[in-house]
Structure 1
Amino acid sequence: MKEASRSVSIKGHELACPVCGGSDFWERETLMNTAGATFLGFDWANKTATNYVCDHCGYVYWFLM
């Protein structure tokens, strides 16, 4: 089941899709894998990014955490 989409504000600025102009996004978290950490089995130590995905066209914003 897809998560409910919503409007998103980043540091006081409303997020808008640069492709379609949409204003509703759903959120997901992505692990930023590196080759070295993966080779050594330390994927869990990599940084994460928060993604906001446009509910209309699928454009993905990435924000490092």
Structure 2
Amino acid sequence: MGFFSEFSKALNGDDAGERYTVAGHSVTCSHCGGTRFHESTALLDGRAASMFGVEWAGGSAVTLTCAKCGHVEWFASGKLVERT
């Protein structure tokens, strides 16, 4: 699922998200303290990639959208993000 569909779920109060850990620690929303999230990915863009039109070749990050308030938590290394 894409970012906007996950964000829409969060805005509409769908709190059926999943719990996650990152590097062995439980993820909690830094805004409301929620513990359920919807996972997605986002491209990381750099100036050089934008200049040459190759944004797609850059890295990506894992985003966790809080199911309670819609706040998005970003994690650069998807290898550390685990659904519990």
Please confirm whether the aligned pair reaches a TM-score higher than 0.5, indicating the same fold.
yes
Which position in structure 2 is the counterpart of 1:49?
Answer: 61
Which position in structure 2 is the counterpart of 1:6?
Answer: 18
Gaps of 5+ in 2: 10-15, 78-84
- Cα RMSD for the two superposed structures: 1.7
What secondary structure is seen at the aligned counterpart in 1 of 2:45?
coil
1:19 maps to a residue whose letter is H
Specify which structure has the higher proportion of helix: 2
What secondary structure is seen at the aligned counterpart in 2 of 1:27?
strand
Specify which structure has the higher proportion of strand: 1
Aligned-residue sequence identity (percent) comes to: 32
Gaps of 5+ in 1: none
Superposition TM-score, scaled by structure 2 size? 0.67
Which position in structure 2 is the counterpart of 1:15?
Answer: 27
CA distance in 2, matches of 1:18, 1:63: 13
- The offset of 1:17, in angstroms, is 1.1
Q: How many residues align?
A: 65
Greater than 4 Å deviation, 4+ residue runs: 1-4
Greater relative contact order structure (CA < 8 Å, 6+ sep): 2
Which position in structure 2 is the counterpart of 1:36?
Answer: 48
Give CA deviations for 1:17-65 in whole Å, capped at 9, x if unaligned: 1211110000110001112212212112211110011011111111113
